[in-house]
Amino acid sequence: MSTVLELADVTVRRGQATLLDQVSWTVQEDERWVILGPNGAGKTTLVQLCSAQIHPTSGVAGILGEVLGTVDVFDLRPRIGYTSAAVAERIPRDELVRDVVVSASYGVVGRWREHYDELDHDRARALLVEVGAGKLLDRTFGTLSEGERKRVQIARSLMTDPELLILDEPAAGLDLGGREDLVSTMTVLANDALSPAIVLVSHHVEEIPPGFTHALMLREGRVMAQGPMAEVMTAQNLTLTFGMSLMLTYEDGRYAARRRTRRHVG
């Protein structure tokens, strides 16, 4: 089993602010992690680091067997599938969905003059079908609903057959149906032995797809808890992480959390 991520005492500072504070974390290739934490906890900073977009201020970040700072990030990035709101914003609204996906082969957003062969197009088509977006092939990105856009972005992030898939808040902005559809897609991905290691950022325990194996909780740049899902997903850890007394339930592979009220005490 190979190690996909190996962070040792990683700190990221910007001016006076400490965005990540001595984070140590290891991810193996068959693991599926969810990163939970409140707004501003450092989740996006952590996955930007893991996708080789930023460097640590101190500490060592090992990604896919390379050490950040000693490797050309342009060699590393194609090995990592990454979706985020920031990536989505860069996709031209008049781009055809098929081109949004296929252009990931070149690590670009927006087709220009690159050449793609039939195999690339076949793969893009197959990935869109896999995420339930096969019918969107000839639509333009700008005409899609938010849920459809998320699916297309996941297909795009899988285009290069990455060794690590990082999804930063893929359920943000989705309605209940859209979220549930996305959780189903993610459940299929999580349970496929051929899928790469997956890191999913979320604010909500309700979005954790069954089949996810591990959780890491962040607050103010520090790791509050990390490890196997069943051990880490406790009301106590969530309470510590979100700074509010929370109750946690688990049913049919899905978690739900809400504030503990006076009625629940004693």
Ligand X SMILES: Nc1ncnc2c1ncn2[C@@H]1O[C@H](COP(=O)(O)OP(=O)(O)OP(=O)(O)O)[C@@H](O)[C@H]1O
Contacting residues toward ligand X, per CB under 6 A? 14-15, 17, 19, 37, 39-45, 203
Burial of 138 (0-12, 13-18, 19+ CB in 10 A): exposed
**How near is the Cβ of 206 to ligand X at its closest, in Å?**
16
The pair of structure tokens assigned to 85 is 């709101």
**How near is the Cβ of 200 to ligand X at its closest, in Å?**
13
Beta carbon nearer to ligand X, 1 or 17: 17
- Distance CA(176)–CA(50), nearest Å, equals 29
**How near is the Cβ of 134 to ligand X at its closest, in Å?**
31
Helix axes 176-191 and 146-158, enclosed angle (nearest 10): 20
Pairing of strands 58-63, 3-14: antiparallel
Integer-rounded Cα Rg, in Å, for the chain is 19
Residue for token digits 């195999």? 119
- Distance CA(125)–CA(129), nearest Å, equals 6
Beta carbon nearer to ligand X, 58 or 143: 58
Beta carbon nearer to ligand X, 13 or 121: 13
**How near is the Cβ of 35 to ligand X at its closest, in Å?**
8
**How near is the Cβ of 66 to ligand X at its closest, in Å?**
23
Beta carbon nearer to ligand X, 182 or 217: 217
Beta carbon nearer to ligand X, 39 or 261: 39
